[in-house]
Structure 1
Amino acid sequence: MTEKYDPDAEKAYTDEKQIGETIDLVEEEEPENSKVEAVRLAIPLTDDPSMPVITFRFWVLSFIFSAIGAVIMQYYYFRATTGTYSIYFVNLVSYGLGVLMARYLPTRSVTIGSYSLSLNPGPFNIKEHALIGIAVSTAANSAYAIDILAATDLMLHYRIGAAGSLILILTTQCLGYGMAGSLRKYLVYPAEMVWWSNLVQIVFYNALHGTEKFGKQKMVRGWSYMQFFWIVAGITFVYEFLPQFLGPLFLYFDWVCWINPFNRDVWALFGSLEGGGALSFSFDWTAIGGSTLYYPFYSQMAYYGGVIFNYWIILPILWLTNSMSIRDFPLVLTSHLFHKDGTPFNVVPVLNPDYSLNETLYEEGEPAVMTPMYALAFMVGFIGLAACVSHIICFHGRDLIKTWRSVANDKDTDIHVKMMSIYPEVPQIWYAIFYIIMLALSIFVCEEYKLQLPWWGVILAAAIGWIMSLPICAMQAITGFSPGLNIITELICGYMLPGKPLANMTFKCYGYMAMYQCQNFLQDLKLGVYMKIPPRSMFIAQFWGTVVGGILNYYTMLVIIDVHRAYLDGTDQDPNGLWTGVSTQIYWGSALIYGALGPRRMFSSDGPYGFVFWGFLIGFILPVIQWGLSKKYPSVQWEKFNVTVITIGMSAYVGGYVNGVLFSVICVFIFGFYLFRYRKAWWTKYTFILAVALDTGAAFTGLILFLFFSGGISPSIQVAAPSWWANYVTPDGDNGPYLDVDRCGASGNWTSGLSGYGISS
């Protein structure tokens, strides 16, 4: 069955609203079109059920790119700035290889038992290609369980065995899979559940395969879609060697610090490393990202508004007034704990052999305290989580319930879901059995490998994931942003199992990841609907990618820790500021606060951080107030001031490294506001493919640097960047006048490095 898109129907829709405002529940004039404007612009209404999907090419290419992606993302996990393994890079290269395989592979079949598979079933098609990307997307991440394994290895010098580690990774990654299957009817099938990041991928797939108007579209200078892509991606690839390798100064371009580089106040407010990063530039595209070009304008402004409000306004106020003794701490933004005099707190000496807290030893010493900004991050997290539930209920509850009832009764079905009805659905029992098996293995690994979490704790963590997945995933599908469950899960476990940091990390991992992986799987399921991929093929591809990715994550982690342990555990500092282990440190810091020390001790009502629990009440109330104002002043779109998205921005840089904000905001205004509103034709034609090209070029640079410059293939082939003024070290081997990566004296030495440069303190 092939349904052709009617271009005349598209013209019937107005272009007055912004992209984020396109979820319109008013009945459409033409029922055979999506309710969402961006979906109408990006996704053609065509399908060819005869296309083979699970092919020999799928197995080979998905394994290759899943393995590479898992290694790359694990590499980025330990770095100061988190890059991306661009799915567009995967789509591009897998397309070329798929076409070559279709041209040269023999057509004979390989038979294993009763299963027969043709080596070459015909031309490399768009569904087969998309399924490779979906498998890779489930693999190309750093598994959240790596946080547990890395923290115990680096901070406690305890390495869990390979079998236990792999079961832990597999179960935490797959528990949300069964949940996604149960929720797909409510969070995938309705047209209102857009899942924004899928749209740009679909444009790229259609551009590569030359479908419909994408194959005939002409760009600037008469270039085709793919010529435009290649040129932009190539330029980006070459350019990205500058900020990512040759001159990291351009990654942290803290120009304000140059005015007075050894002033601690300037560093605290304007430095990107553990400072507020106000007015800082970043010329690295990975710090900006292609999503700034096409995500909903109102969502992005709420997000970056939160960043600016927290780090450029609240932080300076706290610092200049020395609120909560913020000046006594050596770092402004960090997840580390300290004593009251600012010296680092070391938890290891006050732990029992089973890693629980020895309360007697702890009480005999100085108590642990956290930096004010880190304490504020917990309150902000509570606000965001509560506001997510409240916002969904107030602004979308009635409409979503109506939509979900229609979907459940197969009424008012989205056109893309209608087109999927010819394919056999995955039985619900498949997901149920899969979920039960993963839950049983989760209990086994926690009990067998002494992770301090009892069987009932695993069940409770999974239940929390179930309860919170509906509002959080709905928020992600509608706005492109959503809060996490990490804070609420560690809080519950801290009260439930105080003094047990391993239990806290494990409980958080299972509770949070059940929801997070459910969210990822739902997003991929929506992509499958948009691309008309048979549901059972989706089931196989998602599980395959998860297994491959988890195994490679684990072994990559071992290699990186063995090579860079001193930088990652904080005993030494990487002079280039690249290997920091900040993600592990944040995870471990939370485990100490909620697990080893416990929330009763850290957040007592009469203690310095008792205010954080007010976040729950504030989060619930603010959307209700907005909803009330929307009834009184309906001309103002109050729901666009999304409290949850604002708090996500406020807590985005809890460990430091606030960079890329200014250029990101500029991109959002240019593309999301000006071009979309006043140059709609240009925006429609160029935005998606431009975002793809920029992300792909930058990601490919990161891949080459990892494999051939940073010891990715072998530590023996690491290449050092040349010494020059943009790489912190002068040709004579001495530090430049600004001491550190951000040119702001963040090493803590506020007087040295001045001689010979004509600079005085």
Structure 2
Amino acid sequence: MGEKYEIDPEKDIHNLEKAFAGESVSLEESEVENSRIEAVRLVVPVTDDVTLVALTFRFWILSLFFSVIGSVIQQYYLFRVSNGSFSIYFVNLATYAMGTALARWLPTANWAIGGYSFSLNPGPFNIKEHALVGISVSTATTSAYAIEILSSMDLFLNHQINAFGSIVLIITTQCLGYGMAGVLRKYLVYPAEMVWWGNLVQVVFYNAMHNTDEFKSKRMFRGWSYMKYFWVVCGAMFIYEFIPQYIAPLLVFFDWVCWFRPFDYNFWALFSSYGGGGAGILSLCFDWTAIGGATMWLPLVTLLTQCGGIILSYWIIFPIIWLNNVFNAKLYGRPLTSGLYTLDGKPFKITSLLNEDYSINEEKYLAGQPATMTPMYALVFMYSFIALTGCMSHIACFHGADIWKTWKQSRNSADEDIHVKMMKAYPEVPQLWYAAFYVVMVGLSCMVCEVYGLQLPWWGLLVALALSWVLTLPIGAMVAITGIGPGLNVITELVCGFMLPGKPIANMAFKCYGYMAMYQCHTLLADLKLGLYMKIAPRSMFAAQIWGAFIGSIFNYLAMHVIINARRGYLDGTKEDPSGIWTGVNPQIFWGSALIYGALGPVKVFGPSLSKKFTNIAVFAGGMSGYPGGQPIGVLPCIILCIVWQFWVFRYKKDLWSKYTFILSAALDTGAAFTGLFLFVFLQGGISPKLNFSFPSWFLNHYDEDGNAPYKSVDRCGAFGNKWESGMLPTPPK
């Protein structure tokens, strides 16, 4: 086993050569160079052991096992009313235990195949091997965006693509971004300023679990080790989360202001949140999953800006619109509804206006009432457009010079980040690999679009990819620097709606290719940065991510096929699931969006044929982000937490912040994720409908089977809105 080293390559070339040769360099020989970014300096070690191998037999076994499980579980969640996620922290903990066990049990003898010799057990389960398993599994354990195309066509059009075409569609949408990442890595990975903040939690997590040299001397509260502290906090959060997630769900959206006037229609609209469908002004939330560990480490200005945009939009502008009934805002039911309506406030039904090829029938549409949307929904679209253009302007004005400098210095190592210098010990992935992979994926994408009836011509696909290329760099820079950034889903829908009107399937395909190429590119870039922090060989990273994408794509499709065949009636809306679990809400939303932008088209929704009032109001109300996940919950707790932890603790107790932030964030997120997984599997019908147990009705839940839940029976700004929307109460006052 090689020795660790700490290096200052710029000051001492001799030490650099020794370090890359795997020889030890003492602190006396060289002062330690470190990152220019303070948060990175605090948590990312400037050490490496070049003898550690990541791409081992154990890697292939563990990554395959957890990729299959995770991709199936994520696909399972897509069709259910209760969304969940396959926690990467669970994967990290489980793979550590299993990897350590395999290191004890597997034979250590070398095996020879042809001229290649390898060992099933090259030594202890090491930190690089562990991190590479996590990276590969995180690539696989997603519900591929293309699944929503396939499920929408199957459920609502009774149109299926064969297995080969389906899998190629999924793989191409998941892998196109990888070729782009190869070109952009020198701009979005190598510069120290491109932090990719979420990786810092993972770095602390892996180093704490493997008790590396940098973490052995660190002691936490009461002298605990990093891992003991992690497990205590994780266990405490696991127990606590049973309260908001199961025992007292009212604490997830504690709309306390509503209690002052529980039957007031305007109070319902302004102060209810998830339970009532309102703006959630001053609503509290005691569920950690709605707050998240990122609140503790994302840049303070990022968090406050994001929360400030939500407050301006939903705490200031929305009350003005609602209380004054601007543009008949009260006519459409829930304030934040995303549906389309006729001018008299009735839901707009588009399916009866489609031709046999699923394009819009112009004569039928013009013969009826035009479609419109609520003022807040129109504003959300405008916020998305403004966020996108604002991102590009911000990057050009404030980071353009740095990006240009990076481009000019790409062949000069004088100003390189220390971690980039250390990675020169490993062979880089040739640019040709990425280019060839991208060309193959583009060719397969064109084949799928032309052969399998996606309504998207090859030139339309190229437009989608061109749009992605143009926007990936500025958005990627914003995400890497600030931790957040806009998506391309809305702009891609809009562009295709103008370019190929009346074609909903084409709109879904265009959106998927344009959006996912950028999204997957950013995912790969973030993982490449994690690999750089962990000093994993670039070629091992390339193989691991491609492996994860292929495994995930195949098992996403297989799981989708099994679930749709088993639950078709529930998912397409022709039957009602007695348990209320299987609703297919995500494919329904995806298909509804395709109808709005594809079949109906943006010209009819935003164009001059309609009243222009919704578009005009959106023009002067830009700059705010849309409500997260459709409901503005957790805003106030996030503001309180980030001010206390990110401002006061960071400024006045920096040692405390540097020691506890990332391990505390990881422990809290892990405990909360375990609770959700446990509840879903054992108490909410995850394995079987027979294992579905509701907590008895009491004051802090809204389960009303016995009719004795105070929250439900006195409404509390929730039931009134639900009952009114379903027609159980008369039209509210204007």
Q: Same fold (TM over 0.5)?
A: yes
* Aligned: 1:495 with 2:498: yes
Q: Which amino acid in structure 2 is aligned with residue 506 of structure 1? A: A
Alignment of 1:403 with 2:406, yes or no, is yes
Identify the match of residue 530 of structure 1 among 533, 549, 569: 533
CA distance in 2: counterparts of 1:567 and 1:309, whole angstroms: 39
Aligned residue for 2:94? 93
Aligned residue for 1:295? 298
Cα 1:310–1:526 change in 2 (3 A) is same
Moved more, 320-329 or 364-373: 364-373
Q: Which shows bigger deviation, 483-492 or 291-300?
A: 483-492
The equivalent residue for 1:747 is: 722
User: Quick check: 532-541 or 253-262, which moved more?
Assistant: 253-262
- Indicate the larger mover: 590-599 or 496-505: 590-599
1:355 matched to which residue of 2?
358
- Mapped pair 1:694 → 2:697: no
Distance across 1 between alignment mates of 2:71 and 2:694: 24
Please tell me whether the aligned partners of residues 375 and 609 of structure 1 are also in contact (alpha carbons under 8 angstroms). no
1:603 equivalent in structure 2: 606
CA distance in 2 between partners of 1:5 and 1:210 (Å): 21
Partner Cα separation in structure 2 for residue 127 and residue 669 of structure 1: 35
Q: How does 1:268-347 map to 2 (within 5 A)?
A: 268-273=269-274, 274-347=277-350
- Are the aligned partners of 2:64 and 2:551 in contact in 1 as well (CA < 8 Å)? yes
| Code of the aligned partner of 1:432 | A
Q: How does 1:554-593 map to 2 (within 5 A)?
A: 554-558=557-561, 583-593=586-596
Deviation at 1:335, TM superposition (A): 2.2
Distance apart, 1:570 and its partner CA: 6.7
Structure 1 equivalent of residue 15 of structure 2: none
CA-to-partner distance for each residue in 1:572-624, whole Å, 9 max, x for gaps?
999999776554444333322221111111111463357749989998xxxxx
Instruction: Give how far 1:89 is off.
Output: 2.5
Q: Is the 8 A contact 2:572 2:584 kept in 1?
A: yes
- What is aligned with 1:3? 5
- Aligned counterparts of 1:322 and 1:728: Cα–Cα separation in 2: 30
Mean Cα deviation higher: 587-596 or 297-306: 587-596
| Alpha carbons of structure 1 residues 66 and 398: separation in structure 2 relative to 1, 3 Å | same
| Partner of residue 645 from structure 2, selected from 643, 646, 671 | 671
Cα gap change, 1:58 to 1:80, in 2 (>3 Å): same
Q: How many residues align?
A: 704
Is residue 704 of structure 1 aligned with residue 707 of structure 2? Answer: no
Cα contact 1:250–1:726 (8 A) shared by 2: yes
1:685 corresponds, among 654, 659, 673, to 659
Cα distance in structure 1, aligned partners of 2:337 and 2:117: 55
* 1:462-512 Cα distance to aligned partner (Å, 9 max, x none): 111111111110111111111111122111111110011111111011001
- How far apart in 1 are the matches of 2:565 and 2:476? 37
For residues 626-674 of structure 1, the C-alpha deviation after alignment (integer angstroms, 9 at most, x for no partner) is xxxxxxxxxxxxxxxxx6xxx4xx2143x63322222122211121111
Residue identity matched to 1:232: V
Match of 1:124 in 2: 125
What's the counterpart of residue 201 of structure 1?
A: 202
Provide the C-alpha distance between the structure 1 equivalents of 2:726 and 2:369, rounded to a whole number of angstroms: 30
* CA deviation after TM superposition for structure 1 residue 268, in Å: 1.5
Matched, 1:658 2:658: no
Where does 1:166-181 land on structure 2 (aligned, <5 Å)?
166-181=167-182
Q: Deviations over 1:546-590 (max 9, x none)?
A: 122223333444555567767766789999997765544443333
CA distance in 2, matches of 1:732, 1:99: 50
Task: Tell me which amino acid in the other structure corresponds to 1:4.
Answer: E
Question: What TM-score do the two structures reach when normalised by structure 1?
Answer: 0.86
Shift in alpha-carbon separation, 1:410–1:751, aligned structure 2, 3 A: closer
For residues 67-78 of structure 1, the aligned pairs below 5 Å read 67-78=68-79
- The 1:241–1:742 alpha-carbon spacing in structure 2 relative to 1, beyond 3 Å, is farther
| 1:627 alignment partner in structure 2 | none
- Higher deviation after alignment, 168-177 or 602-611: 602-611
1:452 paired residue number: 455
Which shows bigger deviation, 184-193 or 552-561? 552-561
Unpaired runs of 5+ residues, structure 1, are: 10-28, 620-642, 755-761
Deviations 1:119-141 (A, max 9, x none): 21101111101101111121222
Q: Which amino acid aligns with 1:370?
A: M
Deviation at 1:260, TM superposition (A): 3.4
Q: Is the 8 A contact 1:74 1:142 kept in 2?
A: yes
| C-alpha displacement of 1:700 | 1.4
Partners of 1:378 and 1:658 lie apart in 2 by 16
User: Offset of 1:115 from its aligned partner?
Assistant: 5.2
Query: What is the aligned-residue identity percentage?
Result: 57
Instruction: Tell me by how many angstroms 1:204 deviates.
Output: 1.1
Deviates more, 1:719-728 or 1:321-330: 719-728
Map of 1:228 onto structure 2 = 229
8 Å Cα contact 1:574/1:580 also seen in 2? yes
Deviations 1:96-115 (A, max 9, x none): 22112112222234556665
Q: Aligned partners of 1:608, 1:226: CA distance in 2, in Å?
A: 61
TM (norm. structure 2) is 0.89
Cα distance in structure 1, aligned partners of 2:468 and 2:200: 27
C-alpha spacing 1:486/1:31, structure 2 compared with 1 (3 Å):
farther
How far 1:736 sits from its partner (Å)? 5.5
Structure 2: which amino acid aligns with 1:509? C
CA distance in 1, matches of 2:618, 2:541: 39
AA paired with 1:51? Answer: L
Aligned equivalents of 1:307, 1:593: Cα separation in 2? 25
Question: 2: CA distance between counterparts of 1:552 and 1:284?
Answer: 32
Runs of 5+ in structure 2 lacking a partner? 12-29, 730-734
Q: 1:444 to 1:752 in 2, by over 3 A?
A: closer
User: Does the residue aligned with 1:63 lie in a helix, a strand or coil?
Assistant: helix
Quick one: structure 1 residues 610 and 536, their matched pair in 2 at CA, closer, same or farther if it must change by over 3 Å? farther
Q: Any residues of structure 2 matched to 1:717-732 within 5 Å, and which?
A: 717-730=691-704, 732=706
Paired residues of 1:251 and 1:282 also in contact (CA < 8 A): yes
Q: 1:20 is matched with which residue?
A: none
Following superposition, the deviation at residue 424 of structure 1 comes to 0.9
AA aligned to 2:676 is G
- Could you tell me which residue of structure 2 aligns to residue 252 of structure 1? 253
Q: Which residue of structure 1 lines up, in the alignment, with residue 34 of structure 2?
A: 33
SS in structure 1 of the partner of residue 630 of structure 2: coil
CA contact (8 A) 1:83 1:287 kept: no
The verdict on how the C-alpha distance between 1:285 and 1:553 changes in structure 2, with shifts beyond 3 A counting, is farther
In the other structure, the counterpart of 1:443 is: 446
1:483 aligns with 2:457: no
Q: Hey, what's the Cα distance between the residues in 1 that align with 2:467 and 2:129?
A: 36
Q: How does 1:233-244 map to 2 (within 5 A)?
A: 233-244=234-245
Q: Matched residues in 2 for 1:5 and 1:371: separation?
A: 60
How far apart are the structure 2 equivalents of 1:691 and 1:544?
29
Q: Deviations over 1:290-323 (max 9, x none)?
A: 1001111100111111122212222211111111
Aligned to 1:183: 184
**CA pair 127-70 structure 1, distance change in 2 beyond 3 A:** same
Bigger mean CA deviation after superposition, 196-205 or 234-243 = 234-243
From the superposition, tell whether residues 731 and 393 of structure 1 become closer, same or farther in structure 2 (CA, over 3 Å).
closer
What residue is the counterpart of 1:210 in the other structure?
211
The letter for the 1-side match of 2:471 is M
Counterparts of 1:753 and 1:242, CA distance in 2 = 32
Q: Are the counterparts in 2 of residues 602 and 609 from structure 1 also a CA contact under 8 Å?
A: no
- Alignment match, 2:370: 367
Q: 2 CA distance for matches of 1:699 and 1:737?
A: 27
User: Distance in 1 between the 2:375 and 2:158 partners?
Assistant: 29
